[in-house]
Amino acid sequence: MTERITKSMAKNIYYGGGMFALLIFFGLTFDTVKQIPERSNEIAMSHSVVAGKALWEKNNCVGCHTILGEGAYYAPELGNVFQRRGASDESTFKGYMLGWMAAQPLNTPDRRKMPQFNLNEEEVNALSDFFIWTSKVDTNEWPPTIEG
């Protein structure tokens, strides 16, 4: 074998490496697409959950909060707020959310205030259902702590 790489050798390395990378890419894509239905909790999605997600988007909650690690890191993570503030009990959590949303804005010194969105009970319950649904998505243990 010569000590130089010829053009045909370089071409074979290029095409072989490209094919290898494509096989890895397609394999990982197939695996991801196969896992999404199992991990997304889509089967538990109700009309109330969808309405809560619409409220989340309409009020730009992601402008301050994160959910499952996505969004602004100004305010607390809300992907696990159901476990944190509702002790995994739906009626307790919905009661907490009704009180919390009605109390806004809090007069806490040296802290920005969450706006009052004037949501009615049905809207707060829909938002609560969205947070409950989100807490049941398999996120590979994200966030790493209960406080987000």
pTM for the complete prediction? 0.79
Query: How many Å separate Cα 39 from the centre of its chain?
Result: 12
- In this prediction, residue 4 has a pLDDT band, given cuts at 50, 70 and 90, of confident
79 touches 68 (CB < 8 A): yes
- In this prediction, residue 44 has a pLDDT band, given cuts at 50, 70 and 90, of confident
- In this prediction, residue 148 has a pLDDT band, given cuts at 50, 70 and 90, of low
Side chain identity at residue 126, one-letter code: A
Across 18-40, b (16+ Cβ under 10 Å) vs e yields eeeeeeeeeeeeeeeeeeeeeee
* H or E element, residue 134: helix 121-135
CA distances from 54 to 49, 57, 62, 111, 136 (A): 9, 5, 12, 27, 19
Partners of 135 in the beta sheet? none
DSSP 20-65: HHHHHHHHHHHHHHHHHHHHS-GGG--HHHHHHHHHHHHTTGGGT-
pLDDT digits (tens, 9 = 90+) for 57-116: 999 999 999 998 899 988 889 999 999 998 889 999 999 999 999 999 988 887 778 999
Other beta carbons less than 10 A from residue 88's beta carbon:
12
For residues 75 and 24, the model is more confident at 24
pLDDT at 145: 80
CATH topology of domain 44-148: Cytochrome Bc1 Complex; Chain D, domain 2 (1.10.760)
- In this prediction, residue 2 has a pLDDT band, given cuts at 50, 70 and 90, of low
Partners of 71 in the beta sheet? 66
